[in-house]
Homo-oligomer: A and B are copies of this chain.
Amino acid sequence: MTDLLRREPHVIAAGVGLLADALARQAAQVTRVDWAPPMPGTEADLAMVLADQRRAAANSLAVQRMLASRAQLVDVVQAGPALGLGPGEFLHAGPPISWERASGPLRGALMGGAVFEGLVSDPDAAENESALGIVGLEPCHHRGAVGPMAGVMCPSMWVFVLEDLADGRRAYCSLNEGLGKVLRYGAYSADVIERLRWMSAVLGPLLQAAVRRHGPLDITAILTQMVQMGDEAHNRNRAGTLMLLRDLLPSMVESGFASSDVADAARFIGGNDHFFLNLAMPACKLALDAARDIPGSTMLVAMARNGTDFGIQVSGTGSLWFTAPALVPVGLFLAGYGPEDANPDIGDSAITETAGLGGFAMASAPAIVRLVGGTAATALAATRQMYEITLAEHPLFGVPTLDFRGTPAGIDATLVARTQILPQINTGMAGKVAGTGQVGAGLVTPPAEVFALALRELAARAAGVRPP
């Protein structure tokens, strides 16, 4: 102690800067440590979960399984038989929700779906789900599927079928309709329904023929390339769409379909930079589904929003959803729209962030900041910060500007609670009034409460396995 006072002091200061500033003014050597207290109210649960001896091995296994996933596009089929959807049964994005609590864009998409299924002809005259002929409403995630924005899937739609080479699991997603006035943003006008009919009559069967002729198509390999080409696979899927087109077109040409249909499909896919999103999402779901149900693991396996609630699922807590009201994204708006038009966060597409893409890979897609607001430095900072709350660096998703360092992947609920750093999500914004469509794009995070709820459950389960 005497010796300590005799030496020149070197102070390590954590937390508020007041102390460090005062020391610096006295010419003392100060090393500042960036530190914040844990998320308020999580301290006890966090202590319990961090003391869970299963945690390290469980998270290591979760990461290993997530990173081992290799997604292949193996087929394109109708949703009804593939997802076990009977007449009037609909899937939607996010955690479970009733018609009563559903937001405008989800209602709008369900109304459009009901018209598309032939259940009603005038959706505006139907006041509720039974008037729309809806007999079942369930999250996509519960049927092995994911859907962007409203995420509405119904029996007559066609879906991509992805299979994981690592374990044979499958995941499903609808075909992307393009931007603007489209069903997934809650629009249901005649042109929306017309496009869906063409997609079911021509695009789906043509893609089915092409994929079957081509054989399994490596979606993970395309994702790997995309990250080298300015895409982050959530709001920017331009290179991915082009590579899909490159890989499938020869087989589309040889499918025996009419040249005019092949040309129309090529123009439709080539004219929609977001087409690949609906392949990126189920590929991410496959990776995260592989990491599900590992007791003691605190890694997130889903983040999903239904337009009202934001929900997360954690590997160690099975199929439970931890939900809280979804936030409204902050970003840029299409001409004629402003913040007051935006619906709260919606869609299963945050599965990309959960797997180390989207907002977590923004550094690989600096052009995205033009869409969501910010600078190239913003994009780099977003990715860098996400390393603070993730368990791994994804070896297949090397960020060029970070000298091919892997994207931050595998969100750890304990790290989020410890640092109060919330996952960064890039997202499109739907108009809050049913029928509007897209109004903008921006950035959003989950509500902090979902992590507190997850930790509460993780702590309860950790307590159950503690040595007596």
Measuring CB to CB, which residues of chain A are less than 8 angstroms from any residue of chain B? 225, 228-231, 238-239, 242-243, 245-247, 249-251, 253-254, 259-260, 262-264, 266-267, 270, 366-367, 370, 375-377, 400-404
Contact = CB atoms under 8 A, between A and B. Distances in A.
Contact of A366 (B250, B251, B367, B400): B400
A263 B250 contact: yes
Nearest to A245: B246
B247 A270 contact: yes
Contacts of A249: 245, 249, 263, 266, 270
Contacts of A400: 230, 366-367, 376
A244 B370 CA distance: 24
A253 to B, nearest CB: 4
A402 B380 CA distance: 12
Contacts of A259: 253-254, 259
A259 B262 CA distance: 11
B250 A254 contact: no
B253 A242 contact: no
B250 A239 contact: no
A231 B230 CA distance: 10
B403 A401 contact: no
Contacts of A250: 263-264, 266-267, 270
Contacts of A403: 366, 375-377
Contacts of A370: 404
10 contacts: A228-B230, A249-B266, A250-B263, A250-B264, A250-B266, A250-B267, A254-B259, A366-B400, A367-B400, A376-B402
A262 B238 CA distance: 24
